[in-house]
Each structure stands twice: as structure tokens, then as C-alpha cells.
Structure 1
Amino acid sequence: MSKPLMPQATAVWLVENTGLSFLQIGDFCDLHELEIQAIADEEVAVGMQGIDPVINGQLTREEIARCESDPSTRLKIAQSDIPQPVARPQGPRYTPLSRRQEKPDAIAWILRHHPELSDAQLGRLIGTTKPTINAVRDRTHRNMPNLRPRSPVELGLCSHDDLAQAIEKGLKAGRQPQLVEALPEEVPNLPTMPDPFKDA
């Protein structure tokens, strides 16, 4: 059975405004009977504003009257027609067509910066296939000359929390991060500056 929102404030209102027993109120609010008695004796929740469960749609007047007339009955929470939030499914998420072209960029970034991730983790994180991962790793991907390694978080392919959890799992599995050598074309050509103190 689902419980009311803000159970202690609901219990305060029920104690002050109904003739229900402590056991009935405690059962409905998921609080101990002694805690309800302490609320009635003003030992706890002193000054707390009670919340009317009838106005909130959690109880009906008829239900309260039914339970007041028979102390052995239990209050039943009213069924709400408000839709309950649905948890996000754990399967692969949909990637818009415009973003699918950016997956190889994210794969290249992860292969360079987080080699501790397994191919299976990488596939789940970005929503890609093993052949695509291998093609980027082996530099045989059809769009290899145009790839720009970019973070999947920046591209919107996964959240920062998802990436952090995947990295943590990879490290727990015993895969250590490796230092990956930069490709020659990725090293910027920095101009050499003459040393002003060389002749001094």
C-alpha cells in the first residue's frame, strides 16, 4: 500500500481533526502507534502545521467516517488519477539521426582518454556496435580522415554521471588507464623561441 505524502504532518491533522485511534493513524501514516501518541501529547511535532489528506486527495470523508465507527478497520489511501512518474528504461537510448554521425568522434575520444573501458561498456554507454569501435581503433573507419575526438558528454550522447560510473566499473574490473601516445598529426607545431639568456 502506498503511503501519504508528509506522513507526520498528515498524522498531526488526523489527531487534531478526527476520532481515529492511534493505531489507525499510525498504520495509515506508516508511523509507530507511540509516535502518534507523542504527537497527541504534544511531545513531538510541536507547532507543526497539519496537512489535510482530504484536500490532498489521499483520503475521503467517507473513509474517515467508516474507520471512526469501527476501530478495527484500517484506512485505505484513495487512488489518484494523476499519472505516476515512470522510471527511465535501462536499455539503449534513442539517438537522433543528426547525432549518429558523431558517435565515431566520441568513440575516438574514449579510446584515447579512457582505455580502461571495455568494448561492451563503450557500446552500452554511447549506443554503438563492436564493429564500429574496432573500425575506429584500427583506423579503418570510412570517415577516419574527418574524425575529431570529442567527449560524448559534450556531444550529448551520455551524461557525465553515466561516463563516471562506466570509468569506475572499468577500474574496479582491474583495467588500468594507459598512456596513449598522441598521433603525429595531433601534435601542434609550436614555434621555437630563442633563449634570451643563452648568450649571457
Structure 2
Amino acid sequence: MALPLMQKATAVWLVENTTLTFQQIADFCGLHELEVNGIADGEVAQGIKGFDPIANRQLSAEEIRRAEANPHHKLRLFHNPAADGEAKRKGPRYTPLSKRQDRPAAIAWLVKFHPELSDGQISKLVGTTKPTIESIRDRTHWNIANISPVDPVALGLCKQIELDSAVAKAVKRAPGDGVMSDAERMKLVSIEQSLSMEPEPRIPSNVAGVENFTLTRKEERLSPEAAKADAEAFFNIAPGKDDDEDEDDNLV
């Protein structure tokens, strides 16, 4: 339901200038009936000047007379054609002057205990700007030495359900954001290096003998004939020529 501008000031004017019931005024201004009763008794909204809803195009005189004649009639806000299709303003929420000094403490709490929140989410939660968030995150704020983290819900800057919703969205977005931590990056590099390394060749300890190399090649599941031929090629031995014949040639 749409509410008038300056609800309490409008209620003050209606109490002072009409014979509407407290319930009618409370329903129109978005207040409790007892609060309107307190305005009439002078206990609530002291010092607030009445805001004329007729002069400010929020109510018509005919609508007020109709409601005064019928106590069950609910006042309807005057329709403003210029407001049709007007989108809701995006950006940080409005923070009362009395709570603005608490915003740095709330930002420090969110940065410390919920680092997954983006600057835009923090800005919407506590009604601040991104430069202020960055200064507290980087500890370059002019009053950083006197800022102590305080839960923004306890300060009344946001509701618990709003904080939980923002955290849930941040956690859901984090796994798929494509950002890799340093530990994950180092682990990936080590795995890639291990995969790219070529195995060292298996060289027999006794290079003068063909049998050791032949056994090594057999371990690689080559056929005996292929292993022997590979060994002879490795040691530059002519096929079918034994080691004893080489020794006899050297003696001659």
C-alpha cells in the first residue's frame, strides 16, 4: 500500500484539522492507532509541524469529507499521473543521521567475518559507498584506529534475513567465479609439471654386457628375440657375433 510523504507530519495535520478517527488516520499514514492517539494527546511527534496533504496533492477535500461521514471508509492516496512507471531508485539505502556514525564499524565487521561479500553487496546492506568500503578494507580510513567491528544487524543498519540472503548469494557465486586461489594455482602448476616430465631412460648398470640390457628390455615385455636384437643394436654388436669371438680377435 502506498503511503503519503512525511507520515507523522501528515498525521499531525489530520488530527488537528479533521474529525477522522484514529484508525482512519493510522491506516492512511502507516502508523499504529495508539501512536495517532499519542499525537492527539501531545505525547508523540512533539515539535513536528503539520504537513497539509491537500495542498501537497496527497488527498482531496472530497475524500476527507467522505471519510468523515463514514468511519469505515479508508482514505485513498491522491493519484499522481506523473508517478506512473517510475522505477524504484537503485543504489545504497538511506541511513538515518543518528546511525551514520555506526557504518564504519558495520563495514569492518562485514569485511572481517564475511570476506566473500562484494563491495556492492556491503554498500546495499549498510547504505555506504564503495570508496569507504575500500578504505576500511585497505585500512587507509582516516579513523581506522578507532573502528571496532560491530554486527550491522545489532546496529540496526540491516535485517538478519537481508544479511543471510546476501551471504548465500555470495557463497553460491564463489565456486563458479573462475577465480583460483594461490594454493590451487600452485597445485595445478605442480601437476602440469609432473605430467610434462619424461621418464628417465633405463640404462643397465653393466654397459659392457648385453645380457643385463636384454633383461631390462624383457621387463618392458618385449619378446626375447626383439630384446636381444635391441641390445645388440645398442652396443653396436653385429648380429650372431658372440663376445668370445670379440676377445679372440683382440688377442690376434
Higher helix share: 2
TM bracket, shorter-chain basis: 0.3 to 0.5
Q: Could you state the TM-score of these two structures normalised by the residue count of structure 2?
A: 0.37
Structure showing greater Rg: 2
Q: Could you state the TM-score of these two structures normalised by the residue count of structure 1?
A: 0.46
